[in-house]
């Protein structure tokens, strides 16, 4: 007769399976139609798909509407000071490489007051996922010109229109030595948004994702122009790039094959003011990582740490 093999009936279940609900916290207080909601959904989905343990996951931000992000993630978070997300995140990653570190920063937070930290964090190339919420305006303080506001933007600081050309965050990041990952996506293309953040998360280093964000409250004209004009968008395609699914590829039918190791072409695409190239612009998995350099003594006991410090101090004995 048939013997019953009980071992074959045992399903290998993980000790804990996280659902979307495990990553959700509170009710997001962003305006209706704000792009931040879309990124929150994409990131919660990523956490679930990757089964990131909430207690091993850290969201670090500065100040701004976008920087309220950690409040809505049921993980660890640090809602810091304006422009200071990068040094906090680097400090965390340096001593706790076991944590999944995400940085959420606005165009004011990153490219204005935080610009000095931004440049060095790119060069340090520590393993973290950086999401730049670029709504081209200071949202939280109710409409001041940001470094990424297009020239002529009417704001409370420039009621007659801003007078200087904006900083290009993609081009700036691509210009820093040891840069390792630069991508662009848009909050209103959910499949591409998710695929890009996922690609960034998988990158072993500092992955910088510029997300074009809708701010219907303070930049409504820009939102209409960006969202309704499909010709303005070109999806980058490549076997090593951000995957484009069939439906998204049909709706946004401008495509360009781009090899993400080609820095020259990446810079040309990033510099184009007329067309938003969405996808992976540049990736170098071999860039040096400062977090790995710093990780050699992580398992020292307190006694070993004191001995190591004393040994170093000996060098200064006169
Ligand atoms: C040291 C300091 N300077 C200025 C402010 C005021 N402030 C708060 S948020 C903000 C700008 C935020 O803009 P952005 O980073 O683009 O984020 P958004 O609100 O658009 O998401 C400013 C100037 C502050 N909180 N701290
Ligand atoms: Mg902003």
Q: What is the mean pLDDT of residues 281-286?
A: 98
102 — alpha (psi -120 to 50), left (phi > 0) or beta? beta
Q: Whose CA is nearest to atom 6 of ligand 1?
A: 141
Distances (CA, A) of 279 to 21, 32, 135: 29, 26, 18
Instruction: Report the sign of the C-alpha dihedral through residues 237, 39, 290, 55, in that order.
Output: negative
pLDDT band at 279 (very low <50, low <70, confident <90, very high): very high
- Centroid of ligand 2 to alpha carbon of 54 (angstroms): 27
Q: What is the mean pLDDT of residues 82-109?
A: 97
- The encoded tokens of residue 106 equal 């606005």
- The encoded tokens of residue 23 equal 């990553």
Q: Whose CA is nearest to atom 3 of ligand 1?
A: 82
The secondary structure element, H or E, covering residue 174 is helix 169-174
CA 90 to chain centre: 14
- Centroid of ligand 2 to alpha carbon of 52 (angstroms): 28
197 within 8 A of 38, measured Cβ to Cβ: no
Where is average pLDDT lowest: 52-56, 150-154, 313-317? 313-317
Whether the pLDDT of residue 225 is over 80: the answer is no
**Which single residue is written with the structure tokens 């506001």?**
149
Taking the C-alpha atoms of residue 170 and residue 182, their distance in angstroms, rounded to an integer, is: 7
- 7 burial level (CB within 10 Å; 0-12, 13-18, 19+): exposed
Q: How many helices (H) and strands (E) does the chain have?
A: 12, 9
The CA-based dihedral angle spanning residues 145, 171, 258, 202, taken in that order and rounded to the nearest 10 degrees: -80
- Centroid of ligand 1 to alpha carbon of 112 (angstroms): 9
Q: What is the pTM of this model?
A: 0.94
- Centroid of ligand 2 to alpha carbon of 49 (angstroms): 29
CA 34 to chain centre: 17
Enter the DSSP assignment of 165. Answer: P
127-171 tens-digit pLDDT: 999 999 999 999 999 999 999 999 999 999 999 999 999 999 999
What is the pLDDT, as a whole number, of residue 180?
98
Taking the CA of 83 as reference, the closest ligand is 1
SS3 state at 40: helix
Taking the C-alpha atoms of residue 97 and residue 82, their distance in angstroms, rounded to an integer, is: 24
Distances (CA, A) of 266 to 71, 91, 278: 34, 30, 11
Is the CB of 139 within 6 Å of ligand 1?
Answer: yes
Domains contained in the chain, CATH given? 16-289 (3.40.50.970)
Whether the pLDDT of residue 1 is over 70: the answer is no
What is the pLDDT, as a whole number, of residue 2?
57
What is the pLDDT, as a whole number, of residue 29?
96
Task: State percent of the chain over pLDDT 90.
Answer: 87
Q: What is the mean pLDDT of residues 61-67?
A: 98
Taking the C-alpha atoms of residue 30 and residue 131, their distance in angstroms, rounded to an integer, is: 17
What is the pLDDT, as a whole number, of residue 297?
86
Where is average pLDDT lowest: 2-16, 115-129, 132-146? 2-16
What is the pLDDT, as a whole number, of residue 5?
78
Q: Whose CA is nearest to atom 13 of ligand 1?
A: 138
Taking the C-alpha atoms of residue 43 and residue 39, their distance in angstroms, rounded to an integer, is: 6
Is the CB of 133 within 6 Å of ligand 1?
Answer: yes
Taking the C-alpha atoms of residue 191 and residue 228, their distance in angstroms, rounded to an integer, is: 17
- Centroid of ligand 2 to alpha carbon of 10 (angstroms): 51
Whether the pLDDT of residue 6 is over 80: the answer is no
Q: What is the mean pLDDT of residues 253-275?
A: 97
pLDDT band at 270 (very low <50, low <70, confident <90, very high): very high
- 63 burial level (CB within 10 Å; 0-12, 13-18, 19+): buried
Q: What is the mean pLDDT of residues 244-259?
A: 97
157 within 8 A of 129, measured Cβ to Cβ: no
- The encoded tokens of residue 32 equal 């209706």
Is the CB of 146 within 6 Å of ligand 1?
Answer: yes
Is the CB of 80 within 6 Å of ligand 1?
Answer: no
């Amino acid at each position: 007769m048939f013997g019953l093999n009980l071992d074959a009936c045992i399903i290998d279940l993980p000790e804990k399976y996280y659902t979307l609900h495990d990553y959700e916290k509170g009710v997001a207080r962003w305006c209706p139609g704000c792009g931040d909601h879309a990124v929150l959904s994409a990131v919660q989905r990523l956490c679930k798909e990757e089964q990131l343990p909430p207690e091993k996951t850290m969201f670090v931000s500065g100040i701004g509407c976008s920087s309220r992000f950690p409040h809505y993630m049921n993980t660890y978070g640090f809602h810091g000071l304006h422009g200071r997300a990068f040094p906090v995140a680097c400090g965390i990653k340096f001593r706790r490489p076991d944590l999944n570190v995400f940085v959420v920063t606005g165009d004011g937070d990153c490219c204005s007051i935080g610009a000095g930290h931004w440049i060095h964090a790119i060069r340090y190339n520590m393993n973290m996922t950086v999401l730049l919420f670029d709504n081209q305006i200071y949202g939280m303080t109710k409409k001041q010109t940001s470094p990424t506001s297009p020239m002529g933007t009417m704001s409370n600081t420039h009621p007659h229109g801003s007078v200087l050309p904006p900083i290009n965050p993609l081009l700036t990041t691509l210009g820093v030595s040891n840069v390792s990952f630069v991508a662009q996506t848009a909050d209103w293309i959910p499949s591409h948004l998710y695929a890009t953040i996922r690609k960034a998360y998988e990158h072993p280093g500092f992955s910088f994702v510029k997300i074009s964000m809708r701010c219907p409250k303070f930049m409504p004209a820009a939102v209409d122009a960006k969202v309704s004009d499909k010709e303005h968008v070109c999806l980058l395609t490549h076997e090593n790039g951000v995957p484009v699914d069939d439906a998204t590829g049909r709706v946004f039918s401008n495509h360009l094959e781009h090899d993400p190791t080609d820095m020259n072409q990446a810079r040309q695409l990033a510099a184009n003011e007329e067309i938003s190239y969405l996808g992976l612009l540049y990736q170098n998995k071999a860039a040096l990582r400062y977090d790995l350099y710093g990780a050699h003594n992580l398992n020292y006991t307190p006694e070993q740490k004191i001995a190591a410090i004393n040994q170093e101090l000996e060098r200064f004995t006169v």
